[in-house]
């Protein structure tokens, strides 16, 4: 094997190569025989092509090896196309921050447990300086339920519940009560309800969560079906390194999953819409002058390179030319509204970008190992088994010093647990542009003592 180094390009070859640059100055490789492996690094973008794999990697310097190995396992044929964004990290069977396009398959692992997890942001017509942020955040934390440890005293109603009651995939009908109870609740983990201020002083509302227990139970039900068990059967979720669960789209199981996923997507949209409406009500119902709403755990039917694909995005924001996306940062940093742009890189990236900053420290490492126990009086409480690396009281003090009103949260959501969003966005190159930067004023999340069994 011969190694050739050209500027910032390293190529391992077993055949003759013709190296060129296109009219845009981008590196182009032509071969008569397929190379064993090509690794190029251009302006923060890493592309790895092997004989049976087609994977585009953004920000390789920010990504550990595990997500790359996971995405390689997700490629099952020469027709499959994969993308890893700079916020990527380890996930269940499919990396978070990774997208894969399949022609004839859909990936349960790629959509994930929290079907249609996504973001919704609205700009109001009021100035942020005109509100009392501490009072508003207190009311948000009182009236909106996080996890399942706080009672949802204001049950919501929405037409999506009628659709669940009459779901085409009949096993989902049995999840009606759970869906009704949790509609308009936010969940734990990295899910949030935030207030922001833009450069013009306008107040924004931003929320991040998905389909709650309805989506989770839908996913575990299909895991059971994939193993030949009844939908209602309780199953072990399997290893994070397990191969992805794929359904052929021309099978009854594949079509049923698509129907069930779409319904969970409607449910997630309805939940985010209800939460934003509740915050607007708390604010006195100001007018909404701009809105951005997107899923980042979902599967879409799309055309790329002249062919139709099912594009599975897990922790990835769709970014077609002109399409807007809300990308949340950590509790202490600016979030952004972005717009997709039409470039050669964005086309190769399946018009896909990041969904956040991307985790670099595990929940156990940051917050310690904890276990829910029930005492002799039947009271369930959280017991710390080992301490984590982050002192959350220091985080609270830092947020207060920066003028950010924090409600809830825990050490595993501290800014130190994540990459810096600006670093991540730079690695995405010319695929997106930033329209608005949103400075956090108030952050509401489930607290460390909140119990929520559903994965974020």
Task: Express each pLDDT in 42-55 by its tens digit.
Answer: 344 444 433 346 99
Shared-domain flag, residues 99 and 123? no
* Residues 82 and 153 both lie in one domain: no
**60-93: pLDDT as tens digits:** 999 999 999 999 999 999 999 999 999 999 999 9
Quote the strand ranges of 342-419, DSSP E.
352-354, 368-374, 380-387, 405-409
Q: Given this model, what pLDDT does residue 99 score?
A: 99
Question: Is 72 in the same domain as 181?
Answer: no
Domain boundary among 49, 72, 103: 103
Residue 211 sits in the same domain as residue 352? yes
Same domain for 265 and 355?
Answer: yes
Same domain as 245, residue 145? yes
| Strand pairing category for 53-58 and 81-89 | parallel
- Residue showing tokens 């789209």: 249
Residue 66 sits in the same domain as residue 193? no
| Total domains in the fold of the chain | 2
For residue 455, tell me if it sits in a domain: no
Domain shared by 383 and 257, yes or no: yes
pLDDT at 238: 80
Structural domain includes residue 112: no
In the block, residue with structure tokens 């999840």: 175
Q: pLDDT confidence of 169, banded at 50, 70, 90?
A: very high
Q: Which residues contact 325 (CB under 8 A, 6 or more apart)?
A: 119, 292, 294, 317, 318, 319, 337, 338, 339, 340, 353, 432
Confidence of residue 40 (pLDDT cuts 50, 70, 90): very low
- CATH (domain of 309): 3.90.1860.10
Residue 75, domain extent? 2-103
- What is the per-residue pLDDT across 308-334, written as a single tens digit (0 to 9) for each? 999 999 999 999 999 999 999 999 999
Q: Tell me the whole-structure pTM to 2 decimals.
A: 0.87
Please state the rounded mean pLDDT for residues 195-203: 99
Domain boundary (71, 103, 135) is at 103
Beta bridge partners of 121: 206, 292
Percentage of the chain surpassing pLDDT 70? Answer: 85
Tens digit of pLDDT for each residue in 372-430? 788 778 777 778 888 889 999 999 999 999 999 999 999 999 999 999 999 999 999 99
Residues 7 and 130 grouped into a single domain:
no
- Is residue 108 within 8 Å of residue 310, measured between CB atoms? no
Same domain? For 215 and 307 the reply is yes
| Secondary element (H or E) of residue 3 | strand 2-6
Q: Which residues of 161-182 are buried (b: 16+ CB within 10 A; e: fewer)?
A: bebbeebebebbeebbeebbbb
Q: How far apart are CA 359 and CA 414, in angstroms?
A: 10
The answer on pLDDT for 196 being more than 50 is: yes
Q: Is 68 in the same domain as 183?
A: no
Domain stops at, among 50, 76, 103: 103
Average pLDDT over residues 132-137: 98
- Bridge partners, residue 111, by sequence: none
The answer, yes or no, to whether residue 14 has pLDDT greater than 50, is no
Q: 37 pLDDT exceeds 70?
A: no
Q: Evaluate whether residue 389 is within a structural domain.
A: yes
- Whether 328 contacts 338, CB under 8 Å: no
82 and 168 within one domain: no
Q: How far is CA 344 from CA 27, 31, 340, in A?
A: 12, 20, 12
């Amino acid at each position: 094997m011969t190694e050739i180094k050209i500027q910032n390009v390293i190529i391992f070859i077993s055949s003759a190569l013709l190296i060129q640059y296109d009219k845009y100055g981008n590196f182009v490789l032509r071969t008569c025989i397929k190379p064993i492996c090509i690794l190029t690094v251009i302006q923060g973008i890493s592309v790895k092509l092997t004989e049976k794999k087609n994977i585009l990697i953004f920000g390789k310097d920010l990504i550990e090896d595990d997500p790359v190995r996971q995405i390689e396992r997700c490629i099952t044929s020469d027709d499959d196309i994969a993308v890893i964004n700079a916020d990527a990290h380890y996930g269940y069977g499919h990396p978070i921050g990774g997208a894969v396009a399949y022609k004839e398959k859909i990936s349960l692992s790629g959509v994930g447990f929290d079907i249609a997890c996504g973001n919704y942001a609205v700009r109001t017509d009021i100035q942020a300086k005109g509100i009392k942020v501490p009072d508003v955040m207190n009311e948000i934390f009182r009236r909106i339920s996080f996890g399942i440890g706080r009672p949802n005293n204001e049950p919501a109603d929405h037409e999506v519940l009628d659709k669940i009651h009459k779901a085409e995939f009949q096993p989902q009908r049995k999840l009606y009560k759970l869906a009704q109870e949790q509609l308009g609740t936010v969940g734990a983990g990295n899910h949030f309800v935030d207030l922001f201020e833009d450069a013009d002083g306008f107040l924004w509302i931003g929320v991040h969560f998905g389909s709650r227990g309805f989506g989770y139970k839908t996913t575990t039900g299909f895991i059971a079906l994939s193993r030949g068990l009844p939908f209602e059967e309780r199953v072990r979720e399997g290893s994070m390194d397990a191969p992805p669960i794929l359904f052929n789209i021309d099978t009854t199981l594949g079509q049923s999953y698509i129907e069930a996923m779409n319904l969970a997507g409607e449910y997630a949209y309805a939940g985010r819409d209800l939460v934003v409406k509740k915050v607007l009500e708390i604010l006195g119902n100001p007018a909404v002058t701009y809105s951005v709403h997107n899923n980042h755990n979902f599967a879409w039917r799309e055309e790329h390179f002249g062919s139709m694909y099912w594009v599975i995005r897990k922790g990835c924001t769709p970014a077609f030319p002109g399409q807007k996306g809300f990308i949340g940062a950590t509790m202490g940093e600016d979030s952004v509204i972005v717009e997709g742009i039409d470039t050669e890189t964005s086309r190769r990236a399946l018009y896909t970008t990041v969904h956040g900053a991307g985790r670099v420290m595990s929940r156990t490492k940051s917050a310690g190992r904890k276990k829910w126990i029930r005492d002799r009086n039947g009271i369930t409480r959280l017991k710390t088994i080992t301490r984590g690396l982050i002192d959350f009281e220091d985080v609270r003090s830092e947020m207060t010093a920066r003028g950010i009103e924090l409600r809830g949260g825990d050490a595993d959501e501290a800014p130190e647990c994540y990459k810096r969003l600006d670093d991540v966005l730079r690695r995405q190159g010319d695929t997106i542009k930033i329209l608005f930067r949103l400075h956090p004023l108030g952050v509401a999340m489930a607290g460390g003592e909140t119990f929520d069994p559903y994965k974020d």
